[in-house]
Amino acid sequence: MMKNYVKEGQKLPLFGVGPYIVLGMAVITVIGTVLFCYVLKVGTLGRPWTVIFRIAGGVFMAAGVAVWFTGSMRSGMDDNIAENKLKTDGIYACVRNPMYSGIWFLIFGASLMWHNIFLVPIVVINWIILSIALMNTEEKWLEGLYGEEYLLYKKRVNRCIPWFPKK
């Protein structure tokens, strides 16, 4: 469980810009859903796409919860933040930002539940928002704090898509 709320000498915030990024992605997704599904009523697909989109949505939502939970509750990240150590093991060996990735997958999965083709580009827009926000905030903070260690980690591990680390 997250037990660190701010400690003397701690250089990184526990939550960072995350709540703002997540809120931005959620707002864009809700606006798109309301606009395309309820106001304009365009892009909604029928069978068999309804079933395909909903199954895919459920898979992405489950993956999102699993990735987020592992990154936030099972990784020990708050200890690393309190000790100003770069976390590179566990799920952080597969993705640099598992909590953001998990939320992104969850929002993507939820948007697929509406089986509307016009909501798919919103996933790309959310990924762009996520990437730009992280590059201009947390990645700069981490590079300043950890220097070469972080630059090497960045080369090995994807920002948002969990994948096997590069050697």
- pLDDT (tens place) for every residue of the chain, 167 residues total: 444 445 566 565 556 678 889 999 999 999 999 999 999 999 999 999 999 999 999 999 999 999 999 998 989 887 887 788 899 999 999 999 999 999 999 999 999 999 999 999 999 999 999 999 999 988 998 898 899 999 999 999 999 999 988 77
pLDDT at 165: 82
Decide if 90 contacts 64 (C-beta within 8 A): no
In the chain, the amino acid numbered 45 is: L
pLDDT at 82: 75
Q: How many Cβ atoms from other residues are within 10 Å of residue 146's Cβ?
A: 18
pLDDT at 80: 84
Structure tokens at 128: 């762009």
Domain boundaries, the chain: 36-156
- CB proximity list for 69: less than 8 A, separation 6 or greater: 102
Report CA 44 to chain centroid distance, whole Å: 26
